[in-house]
């Protein structure tokens, strides 16, 4: 009887141990005890709202610089406006990936960064005096329009200044320049106001993994913005989608020549959001913590490590490029360096669009661009 009791006790212990082990291994995003509200609060209070506030400061500085330029067009005032433009455009890369809620309602991404600019459409809007900045499919507004108007009207600053000297032929261009940035200010101000209102509290309380949950919104917009990086910033200009024939004029910020800086900033912004890094630079609660909490694995390696390592590799390869992207893409064939970067970006898509949502029990619901099938 004593031996039978010991055997039964040992069997019960083994069953209990295996059950505990199985519970740990099946601790997925569907049944995790991870505190989503901590993640959402960090994203709302320490990332999104501060990013919008910082962008607003930069945009206000750009407006002041443009006013100074239009009041007294000169090489110096133009240079100051160009510097303010570049600072604002770089800051936008941090805000681009939150296209849900107030940003989606106010069409923030379409208003700020429909690129590449359509110069024919833009010149028609200027000369006719007719424009509709609320149309989603127009490419005559936002940063791309400013890129052309501040950098693309001449070979040097002197010739660009001549386009803004207060003459009858230049008056419509002067007005349009102000209208573009005023529209951006209005859209951003409304978006920020909405976030500071009831939306922030609704966002933090919207827990769960169902479609429309805050987690679902974050994962979907994170992925959608990342695929814009892969497709629009790298894939299309490099020629990946056009039989390896490069399209240097399709890069972001073609005229100011800061396309590479913007690409690096956009990938960095994605990495920082994934890690929950605040606008002040602190490592807060992010999607990385969620994956660590549920012990998400891929090929017996922590999925979080795979994602973070891939981000670092992509950034290293981008930083190794020489010159702006319109030069790096080459002229006759997709360059090996750009093809490598595109390949690494594609690998990360699998990590964050397939593996991450599967582990967090979230569905990808946004519609892909038809050409972006990998």
Give me the CATH number covering residue 246.
1.20.1420.20
How far apart are alpha carbons 333 and 239 in whole angstroms?
7
- The gap between the terminal CA atoms of the chain, to the nearest Å, is 64
Mean per-residue pLDDT, 288-314: 98
Share of the chain above pLDDT 70, in %: 90
Q: Do 244 and 360 have their domain in common?
A: yes
Q: Do 295 and 250 have their domain in common?
A: yes
- The string of pLDDT tens digits covering residues 118-148 is 999 999 999 999 999 999 999 999 999 999 9
Give, for 322, the enclosing helix (H) or strand (E). Answer: none
Tell me the two tokens of residue 336.
């090996």
Task: Please state, rounded to an integer, the average pLDDT across all residues of the chain.
Answer: 91
Cα distances from 352 to residues 241, 311, 364, in angstroms, run 22, 11, 10
Is 297 strand, coil or helix? strand
- The string of pLDDT tens digits covering residues 51-79 is 999 999 999 999 999 999 999 999 999 99
- The string of pLDDT tens digits covering residues 157-203 is 999 999 999 888 899 999 999 999 999 999 999 999 999 999 999 99
Which residues fall within 8 angstroms of residue 359, CB to CB, at 6 or more apart? 28, 29, 291, 294, 296, 303
**Domains of the chain: total:** 2
Residue at 70 is within a domain = yes
Residue at 81 is within a domain = yes
- The string of pLDDT tens digits covering residues 12-53 is 444 444 344 444 444 566 878 999 999 999 999 999 999 999
Which residue's structure tokens are 């989603």?
Answer: 136
What range defines the domain where residue 147 resides? 30-207
User: pTM of this prediction?
Assistant: 0.90
Provide the 8-state DSSP code for 283: B
What pLDDT does 368 receive? Answer: 65
Q: Which of 222, 236, 230, 229 is nearest to 366 (CA)?
A: 222
Residue at 17 is within a domain = no
Q: Do 280 and 355 have their domain in common?
A: yes
297-298 and 301-302 strand pairing? antiparallel
How far apart are alpha carbons 114 and 250 in whole angstroms?
11
């Amino acid at each position: 009887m004593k031996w039978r009791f010991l055997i039964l006790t040992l069997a019960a212990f083994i069953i209990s141990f295996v059950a505990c082990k199985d519970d740990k291994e099946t601790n997925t995003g569907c049944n995790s005890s991870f505190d989503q509200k901590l993640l959402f609060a960090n994203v709302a209070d320490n990332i999104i709202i501060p990013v919008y506030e910082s962008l607003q400061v930069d945009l206000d500085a750009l407006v002041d610089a443009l006013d100074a330029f239009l009041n007294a067009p000169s090489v110096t005032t133009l240079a100051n406006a160009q510097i303010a433009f570049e600072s604002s455009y770089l800051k936008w890369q941090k805000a681009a990936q939150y296209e849900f809620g107030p940003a989606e309602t106010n069409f923030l991404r379409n208003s700020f960064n429909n690129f590449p600019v359509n110069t024919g459409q833009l010149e028609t809007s200027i000369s006719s005096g007719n424009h509709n900045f609320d149309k989603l499919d127009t490419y005559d507004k936002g940063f791309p329009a400013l890129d052309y108007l501040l950098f693309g009207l001449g070979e040097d600053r002197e010739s660009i200044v001549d386009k803004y000297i207060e003459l009858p032929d230049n008056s419509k261009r002067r007005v349009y320049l102000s209208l573009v940035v005023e529209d951006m200010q209005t859209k951003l101000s409304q978006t920020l106001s909405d976030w500071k209102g009831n939306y922030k509290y609704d966002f933090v309380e919207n827990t769960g993994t169902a479609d429309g949950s805050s987690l679902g919104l974050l994962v979907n917009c994170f992925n959608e913005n990342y695929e814009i990086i892969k497709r629009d910033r790298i894939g299309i200009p490099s020629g990946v989608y056009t039989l390896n024939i490069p399209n240097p004029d399709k890069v972001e910020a073609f005229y100011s020549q800061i396309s590479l800086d913007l690409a690096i900033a956009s990938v960095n912004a994605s990495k920082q959001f994934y890690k929950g890094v605040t606008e002040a630079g602190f490592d807060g609660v992010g999607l990385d913590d969620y994956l660590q909490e549920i012990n998400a694995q891929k090929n017996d390696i922590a999925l979080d490590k795979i994602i973070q390592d891939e981000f670092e590799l992509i950034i290293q390869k981008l930083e190794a490029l020489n010159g702006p992207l319109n030069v790096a893409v080459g002229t006759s064939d997709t360059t090996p360096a750009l093809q490598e970067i595109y390949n690494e970006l594609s690998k990360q898509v699998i990590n964050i669009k397939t593996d991450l949502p599967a582990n967090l029990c979230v569905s990808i619901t946004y519609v892909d661009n038809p050409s972006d099938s990998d």
